[in-house]
């Protein structure tokens, strides 16, 4: 391998001469061997972004080649890990350098000493294709880790295969052509892993959030963006989805965000239980924490590293959810590197290839038939942090061109402490139609009808509110006053959902449906009553209406709801 | 004796370009001598041919004859326990006539990132005695909670009141205050110092002063020095450190000035594209570390140019800090102190610091309910101005009155009034008690039965 020399250092960017490295190859800069990546070649100079702080690096220091691009190590032992943006386990870094991250540390992404029990699923003489399983490892109690022939290799007939306890470096199988297979392989993070075929997203990804599942649902293998100004609830939403989504594996990428948020997550996940399995959430999670104060180049890489691990578990046939908080910080990392490279800037200083990079990223999502034969999916939920909360900026706009679900956060709702602050008029889901049959079949035939009724009421409410701002609500006809009241109920009793309430943080489909149905029932009673000439004041002050507000806070809500509905029936019958 | 170079090729604003040197490290500390005068600088760009240096004390008086020496080391802050009680300049030199700090340790002021896996989740409630903070935007130890203000508003008074009153419930622990002034006027600085002296706080404070007429580039150092000191006090000496810095806006102006001098591609409104990262590196130096006793809590103050919260300085800050306290000109005009508008204010760590075992079990519910009706009441003010109060429904009238009373009784308090969290919650309940019980939709019935004045006083009888 060649050894080059540093020519120039300015911030995270280094120029070096005397290298033969290719684009995106990993190189080690300086006496300390700082992890770096070639991001440009011009004349005899290599332009290198350094994943670590460059303070103190001097011209003349060596630059060593590694001969390979930035890769992720894929094998058992990834789950429960907490990594920085280049797949270095943070607890390992703490062991080596203490509570503050120091430089020049090289750590494997997975443990190479630990022995795992490998159980072959193929036998001598079987012909295996790339991506096909040759064996299994029980990585976590409920996660069976499939050991696959690495994609883009040749595969072939099995010459030898051994069951037993091995490290990830030890050979577990040998192919006829002499290729040795271990439980680990490496994959360049910037390359999408291949699948046999992408499938249509026809199954909803249950989140337990009423506004999401009920109004703007995400499909398994789908993509969603959640843009919003600071403090509007992006992180809480992503953490909530990571907790309750019905997926097998969660990849949480904290990309240029807060250290304390990561501490919070790492504190909670081992304690909280997966509602589907009762096991600690941490067992199905992989966390990347490249916080805002950690090097920007590693921040840029974190999205790819996270994506690669998500695809790896997808290839085993699992449903994976990757949340990225925040894709804007990732885009800013690109902008920062781009401006130091003195590239011609595009809109607002972002590089001209911003849109292309975002597209490449979201295109890696999807439900697919995997090489191994089964089906798996990667869904992406990307937070966007628009400057000044203004959605016309380039990152939001380029993202909206790619994603199918748009959860528009609204700071007006935040100021009212209406959470999740997802605006019900501006948001949309393009999976709407394709998922409807599933809900009809699996939850209720009225699911879609009720959803449309509720959305229409909210739409009408928005129009009426404009009139109210001019004349006051008392001037409206009585049925319209009822509409205002029902809209208020949908907003406060149904759309609002506290992520911190022990019960309400997760709402099953059935409960979502029953609660909305109850509100619509009130509406029907109320309209009947108006027809009969009963006053709005009487209608809106039936005690059962307020009782309905608190049903969602109950875990065993069904008997309570039944009681409230019976009470409502009696109260309306008694109105004169 | 390090070698001196007299090879300056260009001086441009705060930057000096030097040719033909030995290999110089990026970010290395540089000394520049002109006559008897010594200035310090830092390497921003280092290549075989040319080294670019930013000079902290300004380039005034420098010429091509000035002698440059490279120290071979990055900038380090001398630290010892004796630093407590000292007043230093914005670049860390004694400003109180006292001796230089005799270092026990020297620390790189760039500060390494705390490993996220080593962070302890912050959750110790700090009582500031101010209802709009304790009740509705609770501060916890290890948090970074900026004050977003505007020119001419009483943010300094609020910061001082917090510095005086802040305490953890039921513990006496060693704590220190670090005050970093960046580009504030001499008069403002005197106001802070006088208050520190009056209350005896100076004895457990470290003050860094970069005033309006001090060099702007020096401001880039000031928070780094303050935070390096904070880390030393918190993580070496086990102290709970509260660091107040004012005014972050001036710091950002200096960043912009440096960016312009280096002819960088500017980001939004001329501020450098890396301003988010630069601010994050400062703000993220707050927190608590597992297994260590001390903590760093940050109170940055920034004035929003033109009271515009979407301006890049408050905007990027808001994206990094754990909430913000908003000072409102409108409330200030109404004569309300502290004029905190709770609606756009937020404490993101509130949840972990309140409730049973921290403050009281009904805290979250009371806060949410207060917020909901104050926000609604504010909206109704607009409507009432158009259609008249009489045209409002009975319910809306109640909500409108609630908003007025909320400002007068909950938000408003004396400059020396130190309310306990229980006083604050009581005021909240008293205000909510003026609304029909059925309207308290955000509060669990069991809390209503226990804390609503109607039942609470009945229980006493
Ligand atoms: N679903 C929710 N339920 C209850 N509270 C919420 C919810 N969502 C957000 N909040 C409140 O809003 C605060 C801010 O939310 P969050 O930290 O998610 O904002 P953000 O959009 O990620 O902001 P930033 O861009 O600055 O990171 C939270 O600390 C919490 O108090
Ligand atoms: Mg966030």
DSSP state of A213: I
Q: What is the Cα–Cα distance from A391 to A227, expressed in whole angstroms?
A: 8
Number of Cβ pairs closer than 8 Å across A and B? 224
- Tell me which residues of chain A, numbers 518 to 557, contact chain B at a CB-CB cutoff of 8 Å: 541, 543, 546, 549-550, 553
Write out pLDDT tens, residues A75-131.
999 999 999 999 999 999 999 999 999 888 889 999 999 999 999 999 999 999 999
- Spatial separation of the C-alpha atoms in residues B329 and A8, rounded to whole Å: 49
Hey, which residues does B37 pair with through a beta bridge?
B34
**pLDDT higher than threshold 60 for residue B461:** no
Residue pLDDT, tens place only, B238-258: 999 999 998 899 999 999 998
For residue A385, the ligand 1 atom closest to its alpha carbon is 25
**pLDDT average, residue stretch A26-54:** 91
- B110, closest residue in chain A (CA to CA): A55
Q: B331-352 pLDDT, tens per residue? A: 999 999 999 999 999 999 999 9
pLDDT of residue A365: 97
Residue A292 at interface with chain B, using a CB cutoff of 8 Å: yes
Whether B460 shows a pLDDT value over 70: the answer reads no
pLDDT score recorded for residue B459? 62
**Chain A residues touching B387 at Cβ < 8 A:** 470-472
B295 phi, psi to nearest 5 deg:
-155, 155
Shortest distance between the Cα of A499 and any Cα of chain B, in A, equals 11
pLDDT exceeds cutoff 60 at A494? yes
What ligand has the least distance to the C-alpha of A233?
A: 1
pLDDT digit string, tens, across residues A327-343: 999 999 888 888 878 88
**Nearest-CA distance from A557 to chain B in Å?**
15
Give Dmax over CA atoms of chain A in angstroms: 93
Contact A53, A101 (CB under 8 A): no
Average pLDDT, chain B: 91
SS3 at position B205: strand
Tell me the angle at which helices B222-231 and B275-283 cross, rounded to the nearest 10 degrees: 30
**Residue from B282, B248, B273 nearest B148 by CA:** B248
Q: Is the CB of B26 under 6 A from ligand 1?
A: no
A565 CA to middle of ligand 1, Å?
A: 34
Got the DSSP string for A23-49? TTEEEEETTTTEEEEEEEEETTEEEEE
Q: Both ends of chain A: CA-CA distance in Å?
A: 92
Mutate to test the pocket of ligand 1, among A212, A230, A231 (most ligand atoms within 8 A of CB): A231
Rg (CA), chain B: 25
Contact B324 A231 (CB under 8 A): yes
DSSP for residue B412: -
- pLDDT of amino acid B13: 86
**3-state DSSP helix/strand/coil % of chain A, to nearest 5:** 35, 25, 40
Whether residue A10 and residue B320 make contact (CB cut-off 8 A), yes or no, is: no
Chain A nearest C-alpha distance from B194 (Å): 34
Question: What is the reported pLDDT for B394?
Answer: 86
Q: Which of B133, B428, B365 is nearest to A501 (CA)?
A: B365
Enter the ipTM: 0.91
Q: Say what percent of chain A tops pLDDT 70.
A: 100
**Under an 8 A CB cutoff, do A262 and B116 touch?**
yes
**A230: nearest Cα among A322, A326, A349, A294:** A326
Mutate to test the pocket of ligand 1, among B348, B363, B369, B372 (most ligand atoms within 8 A of CB): B348
Average per-residue pLDDT in chain A? 93
Q: Tell me how many degrees the CA angle B188-B192-B193 measures, rounded to the nearest 5.
A: 115
Question: In terms of DSSP bridges, do strands A25-29 and A197-199 run parallel, antiparallel, or are they unpaired?
Answer: unpaired
Taking CA atoms, what residue in A is nearest to B269? A348
Cβ A94–B320 below 8 Å, yes or no? no
The confidence band for A179, taking pLDDT boundaries of 50, 70 and 90, is very high
CB-closest option in A53, A389, A500 to B351 = A500
CB B397 near ligand 1, within 6 Å: no
Instruction: Tell me the CA–centroid distance for residue B131 and ligand 1, in Å.
Output: 21
pTM above 0.90, yes or no: yes
Q: Smallest CA–CA separation between A562 and chain B, in Å?
A: 19
Using CA positions, which residue lies closest to atom 16 of ligand 1? A233
Least confident span in A464-478, B63-77, B132-146, B308-322: A464-478
pLDDT above 60 for A421: yes
Whether A231 lines ligand 1, by a CB cut-off of 6 Å, is: yes
How close, in Å, is residue B97 to chain A by CA atoms? Answer: 33
d(CA A398, nearest CA chain B) in Å = 18
What's CA A436's distance to the chain center, in Å?
Answer: 23
For residue B321, the ligand closest to its alpha carbon is 1
pLDDT of residue B172: 65
Distance CA A284, CA B398 (A): 50
Query: Taking CA A151 as the corner, what is the angle to CA A145 and CA A152, rounded to the nearest 5 degrees?
Result: 165
**Which is it for the CA torsion B244, B245, B246, B247, positive or negative?**
negative
How confident is the model over A370-415, as pLDDT tens digits? 999 999 999 999 999 998 889 999 999 999 999 999 999 999 999 8
CA angle A367, A322, A66 (to 5 degrees): 100
pLDDT of B440 strictly over 70: yes
Query: Inter-chain contact A9–B346, Cβ cutoff 8 Å?
Result: no
Burial of A276: CB neighbours in 10 Å, binned 0-12, 13-18, 19+: middle
CB B274 within 8 A of CB B282: no
Closest by Cβ to B44, choosing from A10, A417, A546: A10
User: Would you list the DSSP string of B251-278?
Assistant: HHHHHHHHHHHTTPPB-GGG-BTTHHHH
Question: Which residues have CB under 8 Å from B162's CB, separation 6+?
Answer: B128, B130, B133, B242, B299
What residues in A contact B118, CB-CB < 8 Å?
A: 90, 94, 98-99
Residue B88 pLDDT exceeds 80: yes
The closest alpha carbon to A340, from B11, B262, B217, belongs to B262
Q: Band the pLDDT of B264: cuts 50, 70, 90.
A: confident
Answer whether residue B173 shows pLDDT above 80: no
Whether the per-residue pLDDT at A233 is higher than 80: the answer is yes
Mark yes or no for CB contact B265/A342 under 8 Å. Answer: yes
Got the DSSP string for A102-134? -SS----SS-SS--EEEEESS-TT-EE-TT-EE
DSSP-assigned states of every residue in A129-192: -TT-EEEEEEEETTEEEEEEPPTTS--EEEEEE--EEE-TTS--EEETT--EE-S-EEEETTSP
Q: Which ligand is nearest to the CA of B349?
A: 1
Of A82, A99, A469, the CB nearest to B383: A469
- Name chain B contacts of A348, Cβ cutoff 8 Å: 267-268
A233 lines ligand 1 (CB under 6 A): yes
* Residues, CB-to-ion distance under 5 Å, ligand 2: A 234-235
Any B CB within 8 A of A294 CB: yes
Report the alpha-carbon distance of residue A53 to residue B27 in Å, rounded. 10
Cα–Cα distance measured from residue A194 to residue A364, given in angstroms and rounded to the nearest whole number: 10
Residue B348, ligand 1, Cβ within 6 A: yes
Ligand 1 atom nearest residue A258's Cα: 27
CA A166 remoteness from chain centre: 33
How do residues A508-526 score in pLDDT, each as one tens digit? 999 999 999 999 999 999 9
Contact B176/B235 with Cβ under 8 angstroms? no
């Amino acid at each position: 391998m060649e050894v080059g020399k540093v020519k120039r250092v300015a911030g995270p960017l280094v120029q070096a001469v005397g290298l033969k490295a290719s684009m995106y190859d990993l190189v080690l800069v300086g006496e300390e061997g700082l992890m770096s990546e070639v991001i440009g070649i011009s004349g005899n100079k290599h332009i290198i972004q350094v994943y670590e702080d460059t303070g103190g690096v001097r011209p003349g220091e060596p630059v060593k080649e590694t001969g390979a691009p930035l890769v992720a190590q894929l094998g058992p032992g990834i789950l429960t890990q907490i990594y920085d943006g280049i797949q270095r386990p943070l607890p390992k870094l703490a062991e080596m350098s203490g509570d503050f991250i120091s430089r020049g540390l090289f750590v494997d992404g997975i443990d190479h000493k630990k022995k795992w029990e490998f159980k072959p699923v193929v036998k001598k003489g079987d012909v295996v294709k790339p991506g096909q399983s040759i064996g299994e490892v029980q990585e976590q109690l409920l996660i069976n880790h499939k050991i696959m022939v690495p994609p883009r290799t040749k595969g072939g007939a099995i010459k030898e295969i051994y069951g037993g306890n091995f490290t990830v470096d030890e050979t577990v199988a040998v192919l006829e052509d002499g290729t040795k297979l271990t439980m680990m392989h490496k994959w360049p993070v910037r390359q999408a892993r291949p699948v046999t075929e992408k499938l249509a997203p026809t199954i909803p990804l249950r989140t337990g959030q009423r506004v999401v599942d009920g109004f703007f649902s995400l499909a398994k293998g789908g993509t969603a963006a959640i843009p919003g100004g600071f403090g509007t609830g992006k992180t809480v939403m992503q953490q909530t989805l990571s907790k309750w989504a019905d997926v097998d594996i969660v990849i949480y990428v904290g990309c240029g965000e807060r250290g304390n948020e990561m501490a919070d997550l790492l504190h909670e996940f081992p304690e909280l239980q997966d509602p589907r399995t009762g096991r600690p959430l941490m067992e199905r999670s992989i966390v990347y924490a490249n916080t805002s104060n950690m090097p920007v180049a590693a921040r840029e890489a974190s999205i790819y590293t996270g994506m690669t691990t998500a695809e790896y578990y997808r290839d085993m046939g699992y449903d994976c959810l990757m949340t990225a908080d925040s894709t804007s910080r990732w885009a800013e990392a690109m902008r920062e590197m781009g401006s130091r490279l003195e590239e011609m800037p595009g809109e607002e200083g972002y590089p001209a290839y911003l849109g292309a990079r975002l597209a490449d990223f979201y295109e890696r999502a999807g439900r697919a038939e995997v090489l191994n034969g089964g089906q798996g999916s990667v869904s992406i939920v990307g937070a966007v942090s628009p400057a000044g909360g203004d959605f016309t900026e380039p990152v939001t706009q380029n993202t909206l061109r790619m994603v199918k679900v748009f959860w528009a956060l609204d700071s007006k709702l935040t100021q009212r402490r209406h959470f999740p602050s997802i605006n019900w008029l501006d948001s949309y889901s393009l999976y709407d139609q394709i998922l409807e049959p599933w809900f009809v079949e699996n939850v209720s035939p009225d699911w879609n009808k009720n959803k449309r009724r509720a959305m229409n009421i909210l739409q009408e409410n928005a129009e009426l509110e404009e009139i109210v701002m001019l004349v006051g609500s008392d001037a409206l006809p009585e049925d319209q006053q009822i509409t205002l009241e029902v809209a208020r109920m949908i907003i406060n009793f149904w759309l609002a959902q506290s992520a911190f309430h022990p019960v309400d943080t997760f709402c099953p489909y059935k409960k979502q449906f029953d609660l909305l149905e109850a509100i619509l029932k009130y509406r029907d009673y109320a309209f009947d009553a108006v027809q009969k000439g009963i006053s709005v004041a009487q209608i809106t002050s039936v005690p059962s209406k307020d009782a309905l507000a608190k049903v969602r806070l109950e875990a065993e809500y069904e008997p309570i709801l039944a009681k409230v509905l019976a009470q409502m029936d009696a109260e309306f019958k008694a109105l004169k | 004796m390090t070698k001196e170079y007299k090879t300056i090729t260009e001086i441009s604003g705060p930057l000096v370009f030097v040719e033909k040197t030995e290999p110089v490290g990026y970010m290395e500390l540089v000394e520049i001598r002109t006559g008897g005068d010594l200035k310090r600088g830092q390497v921003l760009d280092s290549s075989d041919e040319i080294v670019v240096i930013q000079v902290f004390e300004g380039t005034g008086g420098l010429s091509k004859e000035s002698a440059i020496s490279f120290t071979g080391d990055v900038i380090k802050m001398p630290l010892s326990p004796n630093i407590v009680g000292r007043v230093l300049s914005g670049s860390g030199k004694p400003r109180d006539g006292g001796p230089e700090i005799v270092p026990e340790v020297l620390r790189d002021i760039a500060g390494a990132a705390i490993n996220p896996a080593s962070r302890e989740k912050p959750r110790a409630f700090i009582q500031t005695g101010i209802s709009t903070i304790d009740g509705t935007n609770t501060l916890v130890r290890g948090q970074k909670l900026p004050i977003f203000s505007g020119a001419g508003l009483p943010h300094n008074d609020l910061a001082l009141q917090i510095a005086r009153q802040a305490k953890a419930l039921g513990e006496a622990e060693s704590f220190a205050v670090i005050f970093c002034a960046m580009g504030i006027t001499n008069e403002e600085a005197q106001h802070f110092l006088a208050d520190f002296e009056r209350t005896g706080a100076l004895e457990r404070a470290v003050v860094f002063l970069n005033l309006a007429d001090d060099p702007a580039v020096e401001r880039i150092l000031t928070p780094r020095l303050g935070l390096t000191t904070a880390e030393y006090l918190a993580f070496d000496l086990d102290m709970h450190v509260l660091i107040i810095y004012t005014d972050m806006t001036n710091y950002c102006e200096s960043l912009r000035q440096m960016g312009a001098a280096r002819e960088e591609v500017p980001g939004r409104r001329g501020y450098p594209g890396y301003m988010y990262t630069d601010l994050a590196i400062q703000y993220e130096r707050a927190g608590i570390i597992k297994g260590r006793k001390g903590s760093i809590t940050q109170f940055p103050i920034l004035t929003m140019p033109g009271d515009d919260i979407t301006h890049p300085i408050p905007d990027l800050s808001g994206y990094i800090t754990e909430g913000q306290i908003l000072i409102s000109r409108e409330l200030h005009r109404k004569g309300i102190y502290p004029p905190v508008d709770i609606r756009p204010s937020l404490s993101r760590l509130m949840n972990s610091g309140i409730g049973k075992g921290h403050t009281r079990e009904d805290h979250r519910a009371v806060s949410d309910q207060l917020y909901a009706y104050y926000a609604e009441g504010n909206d109704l003010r607009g409507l009432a101005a158009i259609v008249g109060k009489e045209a409002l429904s009975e319910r809306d009238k109640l909500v409108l009155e609630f908003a007025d009373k909320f400002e007068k009784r909950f938000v408003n308090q004396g400059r020396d009034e130190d309310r306990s969290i229980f006083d604050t919650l009581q005021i909240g309940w008293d205000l909510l008690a003026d609304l029909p019980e059925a309207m308290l939709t955000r509060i669990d019935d069991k809390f209503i039965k226990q804390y609503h004045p109607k039942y609470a006083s009945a229980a006493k009888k």
